[in-house]
Amino acid sequence: MILTRNDLDLRTFRRMYRENLIKAAKFLKPSFIPCRIVLTRAMFYLHQEKLIEIIKRYPLAFPDYDPNEIKLDNIPKNLYEDHEERLVKDVFGTVWRYRIAGLGPHPHQYPLDDLDKVYTWTLPDPEEGYPLGYADPKPMLSWEELFDYFDKLREQGRLVVFSLHHFLFQKLMDVIPINKLMMAIRRGDKRFLIALNKIAEYQYGLLKIAKRYSKGIDVVTFLEDLGTQKSPFIRPEYLRKYFLPYYKKFFEEVKSMGSLVYFHSDGLIVPLFDVILEAGIDILNIQDLNGIDNISTKLKGKVCVDLDIDRQKLIPYGSKDEIYKHIQNVVNTLNIEDGGLMIHIEVHPPTPLENIEYLAQACYRYCLGIEPS
């Protein structure tokens, strides 16, 4: 560990963070374990200035935030009000509904609620722009806007990340009701295969345009929730048969760009590990509910694990001791000298301020090698 102080300026640390994340992903002996606390907008609504003060005290645990740029505006009176009036439609035809202010929505209307609609279902020309996740605050950005944003990230010393938000399986869940999708996959329904191919062609078109960014993209992320709390949504044989060929095609393209392949899935997906590894990823972002020992046995040293810390119980309700012990166990069990470990801590309501501080302190102590003050 080379970090011995927390008074590094933000730009210097962001450059160090980017460098160490790439080294961790490639098993090139990073100087510290990249860790980051990600705060949903709802957390700023909930805690406001007090939350910004924690970021100021532990800036290296929050590499994505500049306290001077955080704006507290349009704070809702009731965080948990059902915002039915906030219905937004994305370029895929899904209508999204917001139930909690500052958190993501859920599908309200599906463009393929009847699978026969797939025959006339059309997607935009990728040249029209980059689609924003959940169409919030608007359906898409121009490519010029996106590339300007990439330039800003580079100037700040941050990672340049291109995301295919809700990639293939997860996008199918956005456009087809889950019960109909599961039955269609099991049957090998022709209409499901047409929908999958249309989505893949559109996403591949987006990736090819992103490749035009001549200054280089560090990471391409594929968001693909494959699991429930207790098991995968999909059997390994179906993932291999229907999705793996697309995964390989996309990931080979990413590697031709000189970029890292970052694959995300929520849920318990241990039975799918082998198929995902076969696809040729660099970083696997998974939740710790898969079991630290399972992850160690099946993934340690084979792929860089970006571990999502339990956001349902530990983060909102854990004690200081429980939080410290868990982060310490993750590091002791999964980290090796060459790298292969990152830690992602996503915070949602009703997490109290003291737990956010404990998480930051644990990042400092166990990931950065700095004793928190």
Looking at domain 10-77+118-368, its CATH architecture is: Alpha-Beta Barrel (3.20)
Query: Rounded mean pLDDT of the chain?
Result: 94
Q: What single-letter DSSP state applies at residue 219?
A: E
Which of 87-101, 139-153, 193-207, 307-321 is predicted with the least confidence, judged by mean pLDDT? 87-101
| pLDDT attached to residue 72 | 86
Q: Taking a C-beta distance cutoff of 8 angstroms, is the pair 4, 33 a contact?
A: no
Count of beta carbons in the 10 Å neighbourhood of residue 82 = 12
CA angle 65, 308, 208 (to 5 degrees): 75
Q: Taking a C-beta distance cutoff of 8 angstroms, is the pair 321, 342 a contact?
A: no
Q: Which helix (H) or strand (E) holds 19?
A: helix 10-26
Q: Taking a C-beta distance cutoff of 8 angstroms, is the pair 37, 309 a contact?
A: no
Q: Taking a C-beta distance cutoff of 8 angstroms, is the pair 143, 151 a contact?
A: no
Q: Indicate whether 84 pLDDT > 80.
A: no
| pLDDT attached to residue 287 | 98
Q: What is the mean pLDDT of the segment spanning 317-326? A: 98
pLDDT per residue over 152-164, tens digit each?
999 999 999 999 9
Q: What is the mean pLDDT of the segment spanning 196-204? A: 98
Distance CA 193, CA 200 (A): 10
Distance CA 307, CA 326 (A): 12
Q: Taking a C-beta distance cutoff of 8 angstroms, is the pair 45, 351 a contact?
A: no
| pLDDT attached to residue 290 | 97
- 282 SS3 class: coil
| pLDDT attached to residue 7 | 61
Contacts (Cβ under 8 Å, ≥6 apart) of 119: 191, 194
- Quote the tokens at residue 301: 């040293």
Q: Indicate whether 151 pLDDT > 60.
A: yes
Q: Which of 92, 75, 289 is nearest to 174 (CA)?
A: 92
The pTM score is: 0.95
Q: Taking a C-beta distance cutoff of 8 angstroms, is the pair 224, 169 a contact?
A: yes
**CB-hemisphere CA count at 13 Å for 302?**
14
Q: Indicate whether 344 pLDDT > 60.
A: yes
Q: What is the mean pLDDT of the segment spanning 28-39? A: 97
- Quote the tokens at residue 185: 């996959």
106-109 β-sheet, strand order: 83-89, 95-98, 106-109
Distance CA 262, CA 163 (A): 9
- Looking at residue 46, its amino acid is L
Q: How confident is the model at residue 108 (pLDDT cuts 50, 70, 90)?
A: very high
Above pLDDT 70, what percent of the chain? 97
Q: How confident is the model at residue 85 (pLDDT cuts 50, 70, 90)?
A: low
Q: Which of 129, 168, 127, 167 is nearest to 149 (CA)?
A: 129
| pLDDT attached to residue 3 | 56
Q: Are strands 219-223 and 106-109 parallel, antiparallel or unpaired?
A: unpaired
Q: What is the mean pLDDT of the segment spanning 6-20? A: 86
Q: Taking a C-beta distance cutoff of 8 angstroms, is the pair 129, 141 a contact?
A: yes
Q: What is the mean pLDDT of the segment spanning 346-369? A: 97
The strand pairing partners of 287, in sequence order, are 308
pLDDT per residue over 64-76, tens digit each?
999 989 988 777 7
| pLDDT attached to residue 335 | 96
For the chain, domain boundaries: 10-77+118-368
